[in-house]
């Protein structure tokens, strides 16, 4: 299984530990990551799309065209990159006139997007192409007794008509790939709520995140896990900021899914980079050792 590894912007710059652990742990389940030159920002599906949707889809098509030239489907760790690239692909297939217009622009740099590849989120690759069995076979240090609260985020699931990953009202994809690691997935009331990264109202953002963290705390999780760097920022750095404004102080460590995978495959806490996070939990490290 070979994929063009689409790094995006936020992970390789702010959170390279996720890239490091992906490069170590994905080959162990048979996924080969190929570095392809020339990718830019996907571009991100909130601010840049708000700025100009035509510019957004043109840059996305250039990225897709680069992977197509390499003859590879795209794998990304980021829900934002996934949403942009998968949506752009869908729209271009659905609207041939728009595709012509975008390709006219791409022709200025000698590129063309034919629509022969697809962009996949790492969780899709793990569920559909690798499979739970294969994941389980790679586990040497099962995460027994680790209580995980799953945060889906929005852009890996919605709009479901375009992305077709799972049912956004009752998704199972993360549970499917966490359970083989031996961890216990704990349901909680705010499981499907948004990180609110795109909301521009500070007061609302505070309330959203407070409710989510409160719900996780009530469920007595050891950590939450997620698959989007914007969500990660919202609940790692965001939790520190929230604690500054809030009388109540939360301490819920946030782990990227690939970090859980790496830990279950025998990597140490430091090697998967959890010691670099803002929210640290000695209790979790203790349980992992």
Partner 1 sequence: MPKIDLDFKKKLTRVEYADFLTYCYQCGACVGDCPSAKLSPAFNPREIVLRVLLGLAEPLLKKDSIIWQCTTCYTCQEVCPQGVRPIEVITALKNIISAQGMLPDSISASVGIIKDTGRVVLVSNVINKRRTEQGLTELKPVPMDELKKIL
Which of the stretches 9-17, 213-221, 259-267, 277-285 binds partner 1 when contact is defined by CB under 8 A?
9-17
Contact 2, 36 (CB under 8 A): no
Q: How far apart are CA 273 and CA 255, in angstroms?
A: 9
C-beta of 193 vs 251, nearer to partner 1 = 193
Q: Which of 1, 36, 91, 186 binds partner 1 (CB under 8 A)?
A: 91
Q: Identify the sign of the CA torsion 89, 95, 96, 97.
A: negative
Contact 224, 13 (CB under 8 A): no
Q: Does position 158 bind partner 1 by CB under 8 A? A: yes
Q: Which of 133, 170, 187, 200 binds partner 1 (CB under 8 A)?
A: 200
Q: Does position 41 bind partner 1 by CB under 8 A? A: yes
Q: Does position 133 bind partner 1 by CB under 8 A? A: no
- Which residues, 6+ apart, have CB-to-CB distance to 281 below 8 Å? 222, 223, 251, 252, 253
Helix 257-264 × helix 16-25 angle, to 10°:
40
Q: Which of 32, 71, 145, 204 binds partner 1 (CB under 8 A)?
A: 204
C-beta of 72 vs 198, nearer to partner 1 = 198
C-beta of 10 vs 274, nearer to partner 1 = 10
Q: Does position 170 bind partner 1 by CB under 8 A? A: no
Q: Does position 16 bind partner 1 by CB under 8 A? A: yes
Contact 14, 7 (CB under 8 A): no
Contact 108, 147 (CB under 8 A): no
Q: Does position 171 bind partner 1 by CB under 8 A? A: no
Q: Does position 46 bind partner 1 by CB under 8 A? A: yes
Q: Does position 281 bind partner 1 by CB under 8 A? A: no
- Residue 204 phi, psi (nearest 5): -65, -40
Q: Does position 10 bind partner 1 by CB under 8 A? A: yes
Q: How far apart are CA 73 and CA 2, in angstroms?
A: 8
Q: Does position 38 bind partner 1 by CB under 8 A? A: yes
Q: Which of 47, 114, 116, 220 binds partner 1 (CB under 8 A)?
A: 47
Write the DSSP assignment of 176-204 as a string of letters: HHHGGGTPEEPP-TTTT----TT---HHH
Q: Does position 14 bind partner 1 by CB under 8 A? A: yes
CB of 50 to partner 1, least distance (A): 4
Q: How far apart are CA 106 and CA 247, in angstroms?
A: 53
Binding site for partner 1 (CB under 8 A): 9-10, 12-14, 16-17, 19-20, 23, 35, 37-41, 43-55, 57-59, 62, 87, 91, 95, 98, 105-106, 108-109, 154-155, 158-161, 168-169, 193-194, 196-201, 204, 207-208, 273
């Amino acid at each position: 299984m070979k994929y063009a590894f689409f790094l995006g912007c936020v992970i390789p710059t702010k959170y390279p530990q996720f890239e490091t652990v992906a490069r170590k742990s994905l080959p162990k389940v048979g996924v080969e990551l190929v570095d392809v030159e020339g990718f830019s920002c996907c571009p991100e599906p909130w601010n840049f799309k708000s700025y100009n949707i035509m510019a957004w889809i043109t840059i996305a098509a250039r990225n897709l065209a680069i992977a197509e030239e390499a003859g590879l489907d795209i794998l990304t760790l980021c829900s934002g990159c996934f949403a942009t690239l998968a949506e752009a692909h869908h729209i271009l297939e659905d609207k041939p006139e728009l595709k012509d217009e975008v390709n006219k622009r791409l022709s200025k740099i000698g590129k063309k997007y034919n629509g022969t590849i697809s962009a996949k989120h790492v969780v899709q690759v793990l569920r559909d192409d690798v499979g739970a069995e294969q994941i389980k076979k790679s586990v040497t240090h099962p995460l027994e007794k680790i209580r995980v609260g799953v945060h889906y985020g929005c852009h890996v699931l919605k709009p479901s008509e375009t992305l077709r990953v799972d049912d956004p009202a009752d998704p199972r994809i993360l549970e499917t790939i966490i359970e083989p690691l031996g961890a216990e997935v704990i349901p909680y009331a705010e499981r499907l709520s948004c990180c609110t990264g795109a909301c521009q109202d500070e007061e609302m953002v505070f309330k959203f995140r407070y409710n989510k963290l409160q719900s996780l705390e009530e469920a007595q999780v050891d950590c939450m896990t997620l698959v989007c760097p914007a969500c990660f920022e919202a609940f790692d750095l965001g939790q520190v900021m929230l604690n500054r404004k809030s009388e109540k102080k939360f301490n819920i460590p946030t782990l990227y899914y690939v970090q859980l995978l790496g830990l279950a495959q025998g990597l140490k806490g430091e090697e998967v980079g959890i010691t670099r996070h803002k929210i640290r939990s000695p209790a979790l490290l203790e349980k992992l050792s």
